[in-house]
């Protein structure tokens, strides 16, 4: 199955998740297959090296315990995004979209010259479990993580990664593959609901969070997806910076990922129309108490809500910008 057809099938499964099931998961859940891969980087030059390869300023990461960023090509389009966690003497643990760790390793390796940086794929040995919900911290007996901080704490035979900040995951568990079943039983015993991959993604759509490979069409610029928390506009150069900075200075790129609502069921890939003109595409759908909530990439001309939109033959309402229209601070 190709990446495109796989993403299409996954999006269709997300759209099939009922509102009742979505509501049942919101207090606390674990997802054994959240679609994530793992990469480790270590060495004295890791942070300076990443500073020149990612869209975020990595210099504060050692003090904060990590951060979130994307890597872009020369045209500013996202190659992959990553969650980084300081991992003690092991260096840095990077959590990426499933299947992107190998391409990320190749991308980083291509630019390594004399830097003291080592890279290792971890998917054969380790597995990622996502945790989320309003009650998950209490049920695991966890103290709050300070705002802006990340931690990688021992948990059973693995590590509990906290401070993720990317809904719907409030924490990630990294576990040895041979010990996953026992750990899942322990989570169920704490009263957490087991969520499928589709249910986990449905909660993401409901939370209004972009996902690379699902909401970016043929490739998107971070600004188009509202990934402000992956960006720094005060750091030095990186691949694609010129394009991204130019678009940011012009306020709004040619399209944006928006939160939408419809009274009827929609499928991912449904065209968004203004009259007879196609002005966007629905990228993700989840059942709501009435109709559906959705994400969609829309052209700049219709973002202010002054133009009547339809999708699937029914009215489509714009609920806001994914990630907000602009960052609160630059």
Residue 138 predicted with pLDDT over 90: yes
Q: What is the pLDDT of residue 87?
A: 98
Token output for 160 = 């509990």
Q: Give the torsion through C-alpha atoms of 28, 30, 34, 39, to 10 deg.
A: 110
Mean pLDDT of 290-315: 97
Tens of pLDDT, residues 14-33: 989 999 999 999 999 999 99
Phi/psi region, residue 133 (left: phi>0; alpha: psi -120 to 50; beta: rest), is left
Percent residues over pLDDT 90 in the chain: 88
Average pLDDT over residues 289-299: 97
Confidence of residue 308 (pLDDT cuts 50, 70, 90): very high
pLDDT at 251: 72
Q: How far apart are CA 67 and CA 82, in angstroms?
A: 8
What pLDDT shows up at residue 218? 75
Strands ordered across the beta sheet of 36-42: 66-72, 78-86, 92-97, 36-42, 118-121
The per-residue pLDDT for range 157-188, each reduced to its tens digit, is 999 999 988 889 999 999 999 989 999 999 99
H/E stretch holding 169 reads strand 169-176
Q: What are the beta bridge partners of residue 272?
A: 280
Position 46 pLDDT exceeds 90: yes
**Res 10 pLDDT > 80:** no
Cis omega (within 30 of 0) on the bond before 168? yes
In whole angstroms, give the CA distance from residue 296 to residue 285: 9
Q: What integer pLDDT is reported at residue 12 of this predicted model? A: 82
Which pLDDT score, from 0 to 100, does residue 217 have?
Answer: 78
Every domain of the chain and the residues it spans:
29-191
29-191 folds as Gyrase A; domain 2 (3.30.1360)
Per-residue pLDDT at 1 exceeds 80: no
Q: What is the mean pLDDT of residues 108-116?
A: 97
């Amino acid at each position: 199955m190709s990446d495109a057809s796989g993403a299409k099938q996954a999006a269709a499964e997300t759209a099939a998740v009922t509102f009742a099931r979505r509501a049942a998961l919101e207090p606390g859940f674990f997802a054994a297959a959240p679609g994530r891969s793992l990469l480790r980087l270590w060495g004295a030059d890791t942070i300076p090296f990443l500073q020149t390869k990612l869209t975020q300023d990595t210099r504060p990461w050692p003090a904060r315990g990590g951060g979130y960023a994307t890597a872009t090509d020369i045209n500013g389009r996202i190659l992959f995004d990553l969650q980084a966690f300081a991992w003690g003497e092991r260096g840095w643990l990077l959590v990426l979209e499933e299947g992107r760790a190998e391409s990320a390793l190749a991308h980083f390796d291509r630019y390594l010259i004399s830097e003291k940086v080592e890279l290792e794929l971890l998917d054969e040995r380790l597995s990622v479990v996502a945790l989320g919900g309003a009650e998950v911290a209490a049920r695991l007996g966890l103290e709050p993580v300070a705002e802006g901080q990340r931690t990688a704490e021992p948990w059973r035979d693995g590590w509990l990664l906290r401070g993720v900040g990317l809904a719907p995951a409030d924490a990630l568990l990294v576990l040895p593959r041979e010990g996953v079943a026992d750990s899942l039983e322990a989570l169920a015993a704490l009263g957490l609901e087991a969520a499928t991959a589709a249910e986990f993604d449905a909660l993401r759509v409901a939370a209004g969070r972009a996902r690379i490979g699902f909401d970016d069409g043929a490739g998107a610029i971070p600004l188009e997806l509202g990934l402000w928390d992956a960006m720094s506009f005060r750091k030095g150069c990186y691949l694609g910076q010129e394009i991204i900075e130019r678009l940011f200075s012009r306020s709004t790129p040619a399209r944006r990922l928006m939160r939408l609502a419809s009274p009827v069921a929609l499928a991912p890939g449904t065209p968004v129309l203004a009259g007879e003109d196609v002005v966007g595409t629905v990228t993700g759908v989840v059942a709501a108490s009435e109709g559906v909530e959705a994400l969609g990439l829309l052209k700049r001309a219709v973002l202010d809500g002054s133009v009547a939109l339809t999708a699937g033959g029914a009215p489509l309402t714009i609920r806001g910008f994914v990630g907000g229209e602009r960052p609160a601070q630059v």
